[in-house]
Structure formats: structure tokens, C-alpha cells
Copies of this chain bind each other. A is one copy, B any other.
Amino acid sequence: MKKKAADYSLYLVTDRGLSRGRTTPEIVQAAVRGGVTCVQLREKNCSPREFIEQAILIQKFLKEHHIPLIINDRVDVAQAVKADGVHLGQSDMPLEMAKAILKDSMIIGISAQSVQHAVEAEKKGADYIGVGTIYPTLTKDDTSSPLGTEGLREIRKNVKIPIVAIGGLNKENSGDVIQNGADGIAVVSAIVSADDPEQTARELREIITGAKTS
């Protein structure tokens, strides 16, 4: 099985803990109706079996809408559900090991907090990088100092693979981030905690499309 091409423009990362009581499938469906182009399932506080069940719950809907499903951290869960990809942080399995397991069957994304991370990920064959934190955020338990648009531009100069910016992104700053070199915007709380996730996704998508064509 060969990996699919993906549109990273508006990349939703789930977080049950920030979803204000709504289930992950509810959030995902609303977000996709609004215009999310890619979904990463990130379920930190549940058993591996529950994580798999959540993936299966959203997968059929995502397939119908041709939206790639990316699994956070666990290569085995991605294999088990035949997801479209896996996203690995700097404390997760090293990229070369994941590639040895997956060969070219799946998208592999890597979190990059620096130019060095980004260049290394590209050299080792990552399909995209998640670059952040861009702006301060409470979502990720991440102590690195924010990169800002300046740090993002510096990374953009050094790699050719798609950059998905993450961290503190919202309607106010997403246009700027695209204009400073990101191919897509990853959001967690901006959508999962929104009063209206569908409408928020729609507005974000419009901003991104606008910034890309301006």
C-alpha cells in the first residue's frame, strides 16, 4: 500500500480533555464539515485499546470525506487500523525506526522545534514537519520558547518538505503564519474548544485559503 498525498492546509489535532464534554467523533465530524483537511488523533489519557477504538470510530467518516487520518505517536496503532500516517514527536520512536517498520506505506510527520530538527527530519525522509510552538499555548506540555514567525521563516529557508505550523494559532494569526512560510495550520483548542467547531473550522479555512492566494 502506497501512502496518499495529503493537504495539510487545516490540520486538526484532537484533544478529548479540551473538547468541553463533546466526543472526539463529534468534534471531528463538525470540523471536517467546516473544512479541516487532515486529522491527527491524539489520545494521551486512554488505554491503547481505547485509542484504537477511537481511531476506528472516526475512520469511516474521514475516508468518506477523503481526509487523511494521522495517528499520534503509536506506529503500531497506525498499522492496526491502516491509518494514512503517524506523527512522531522528538520523544517518540526515532524516524529511521518508524521508516524501517512502515517502509513507504504511510505518511510520517515529525515535530520540529528547531532548524536542526527540521533539517534532520527532512534528510531522514519525513513527509512533513510539525513546526512549533509558534506562539505561547497551554495546549502542549512543551517548555520550549515560542518560535514566532521569525523562527518559522528560518526553518522555511532550510527545508523543502511541507511545514505544518502549530502552537497558539487562531483566526487572528493564521494568515500571518501562512504568509511566513507554513503550508498548513495545525490547531487543537481553536477548534476542539470552540463554541461552534464547524463554523470556526470554516473561518480558519477561508483565512488560510485567502493567505495562500494573496
Query: Which segment, of A74-82, A143-151, A179-187, faces chain B?
Result: A74-82
Residues in A58-85 with C-beta less than 8 Å from chain B: 73-77, 79-80
> Chain A 72-115, CB within 8 Å of chain B: the 1/0 string?
01111101100000000011111001101100000000000000
Check if A116 is an interface residue, CB within 8 A of chain B: no
Cα distance A92–B52 in the bound complex, in angstroms: 9
Cα distance A74–B101 in the bound complex, in angstroms: 13
Q: A74-B74, A74-B76, A76-B76 are in contact. Are A48 and B100 (CB under 8 A)?
A: no
User: Is the pair A97, B47 in contact by a Cβ cutoff of 8 Å?
Assistant: no
Cα distance A94–B76 in the bound complex, in angstroms: 11
User: Is the pair B79, A49 in contact by a Cβ cutoff of 8 Å?
Assistant: no
Cα distance A73–B79 in the bound complex, in angstroms: 15
User: Is the pair B80, A100 in contact by a Cβ cutoff of 8 Å?
Assistant: yes
Check if A196 is an interface residue, CB within 8 A of chain B: no
Cα distance A64–B64 in the bound complex, in angstroms: 51
Check if A50 is an interface residue, CB within 8 A of chain B: yes
Q: List 17 A-B contacts (CB under 8 A).
A: A47-B91, A47-B92, A48-B73, A48-B92, A48-B93, A49-B93, A52-B93, A74-B74, A74-B76, A75-B76, A75-B79, A76-B76, A76-B93, A76-B98, A79-B101, A80-B93, A80-B100
What is A's interface to B at a CB cutoff of 8 Å? 47-50, 52, 73-77, 79-80, 90-94, 97-98, 100-101
